A and B are shown apart, each in its own frame.
Chain A
Amino acid sequence: MKVLIPTPLRQFTGKQAAVEVAADSVGEVLTHLTSQFPELRKQLFAEDGRLRRFVNVYVNDQDIRYLENENTPVRQSDTVSIVPSVAGGGNHERLHGHSQ
């Protein structure tokens, strides 16, 4: 199925916005994805192996936390979205940080 990669994480997927993965569960999707793009692992998972709390995963429009988390079954026709929290407001974005 198609996994949609958000802009901030595309630097870890060779700039790809969508990645095709064959899997039966969300857990498998993420395993395949992070083995294909190892640098994604640190972004998605904490040291204890759990999904980070500022990264949510959706199957179609449903949050997996309200389905069966990583055991949520997926079908080929589903779309999996990774949605991290984003703070920007167009106030201070620059290529480098300057404190407010």
Chain B
Amino acid sequence: MVTVNSLPAASLSNDEILRYSRHLIMPEVGMVGQQKLKAARVLCIGAGGLGSPLALYLAAAGVGTLGLVDFDVVDLTNLQRQIIHTVDDVGRPKLESAAEKLGAINPLVNVIKFETRLNSANALDIFRQFNIVADGTDNFPTRYLVNDACVLTGKPNVYASIFRFEGQASVFAAENGPCYRCLYPEPPPPGLVPSCAEGGVLGILPGLLGVIQATEVIKLILGSGEPLIGRLLLVDALSMHFRELRLRKNPECPACGNEPSIRELIDYNQFCGVRGEEAPVTASVPEIQPVELKTKLDAGNDIFLLDVREPHEYQICNLGGYLIPLGDLPARMHELDSSREIVAHCRSGVRSAKAVTLLRQSGFGKVKNLAGGILAWSDQVDPTLPKY
């Protein structure tokens, strides 16, 4: 079914036999299966939310060679879900931190680190060194790059993605199975993906989906069970519903169809924005710096502070501004007085720049954007204000 089944078996030492004994005594794995795991070479793209449980379980299971691709550094906000990293790792490269934990769990695993951003120039060379690729990235350009590189090199793509409390998982680009482009031929254009206000992810969700990925990787290596080929698993952690949709190989797929148009890798970064986000609009609107705003407020100037974040963000911290979430602004503009000086702010200044543009187009001539938002206010004016 999948290329990994033709792997040569690797023999096991007495230590390994003891370590993997709970695998060895079940017929679905057994000695032959454990030897296949040892001979397998799995590439994990991303050592973050999905990559943490994925790599940890694959190492524990005895996958012989684990490749990790990441170029990021651990920060404090990662620890809510990226369980391979600890407080002591904050500031360290994720690869270094992850490799250390994997070695601590199973020193017999050969961890190969690729501290690089995956791109069209390096993906094929990296993928060719492995049997299976597990995609734990977080942006559309890399998702499409991984898919296309898997199709071009003939490697199955064990896929999962998450958003807030919902996840999707499948196995793409397996022999005779559909690829990601069969499902979604093209990435969404910038601006039509959920805006920053809709971000966030329930910390356990990458755990749930990453473990599903690890399960699928192990099944592919063992050649047993029913892999998620041709099926899209939808997980809703809030309702705890698991649904399944049927996927088909699209004969007209640009990547794996009968007459594929994609014969080399595409770097979408140039026109997609790294995470498929809108291009920054902050530069084009009138701004006020945090210190200047503070000085004016202290001097008693009549300034109306407009907070365009979401109510749940207001609860984290606020500047005492009047709250109208950006999405509600068109319908609630009448609540504002266009004769007054207004300063709009959000967390980092992106949403409020859009609010300023919107208000100026609607005749509010005295609106400015608080440059850098609450983050900059915390840095430059009031360090007691928490950042998030």
Contact = CB atoms under 8 A, between A and B. Distances in A.
Interface of A: 6-8, 11, 17, 42-43, 52-54, 56, 58, 61-63, 65-66, 81, 83-100
Interface string B173-191: 0000000000111111000
Contact of B184 (A17, A56, A92, A95): A56
A68 to B, nearest CB: 15
B234 A8 contact: no
9 closest cross-chain pairs (CB), A and B: A90-B49, A91-B48, A90-B206, A89-B138, A91-B138, A96-B348, A85-B184, A54-B188, A8-B194
Contacts of A8: 163, 193-194, 198
Contacts of A93: 49, 138, 199-201
B162 interface: yes
Contacts of B185: 53
Nearest to B206: A90
B197 A54 contact: no
Contacts of B205: 90
A89 B250 CA distance: 25
Nearest to B181: A53
A83 to B, nearest CB: 7
B162 to A, nearest CB: 5
Contacts, number: 154
Instruction: Give the interface centre of A43, A84, A93 by most chain B CB atoms within 10 Å.
Output: A93
A56 B194 contact: no
A99 B162 CA distance: 19
Nearest to B137: A89
Given A63-B246, A66-B248, A91-B137, A43 B192 contact: yes
B327 A90 contact: no
B223 interface: no
Contacts of A61: 243-246
Interface of B: 46, 48-51, 71-72, 77-78, 81-82, 117, 135-140, 143, 160-166, 168, 183-188, 192-194, 196-201, 205-206, 210, 232, 234, 239, 243-248, 250, 273-277, 313, 327, 346-348, 350-351, 373, 388
Given A85-B183, A95-B388, A63 B138 contact: no
B186 A89 contact: no
Given A95-B388, A96-B196, A88 B245 contact: no
Instruction: Give the interface centre of A53, A94, A96 by most chain B CB atoms within 10 Å.
Output: A96
Contacts of A96: 196, 199, 346-348, 350-351, 373
Nearest to B180: A85
B278 to A, nearest CB: 8
B196 A95 contact: yes
A97 to B, nearest CB: 5
A75 B149 CA distance: 41
Given A61-B246, A92-B138, A97 B277 contact: yes
Nearest to A42: B192
B187 A85 contact: yes
Contacts of A95: 196-197, 199-200, 313, 347, 388
A90 B162 contact: yes
Contact of A63 (B77, B137, B206, B247): B247
7 contacts: A7-B164, A17-B239, A61-B244, A87-B138, A91-B82, A100-B71, A100-B275
Nearest to B207: A90
A53 B351 CA distance: 27
Given A87-B140, A90-B48, A6 B166 contact: yes
A57 B226 CA distance: 25
B48 to A, nearest CB: 3
Contact of A87 (B117, B193, B234): B193
A57 to B, nearest CB: 10
Contacts of B197: 95
A96 B196 CA distance: 5
A94 B198 CA distance: 9
A94 B192 CA distance: 17
A92 B168 contact: no
A86 B350 contact: no
Nearest to B280: A97
Given A90-B138, A90-B206, A54 B162 contact: no
Contacts of A7: 163-166
Nearest to A91: B48
Contacts of B275: 87, 92, 97, 99-100
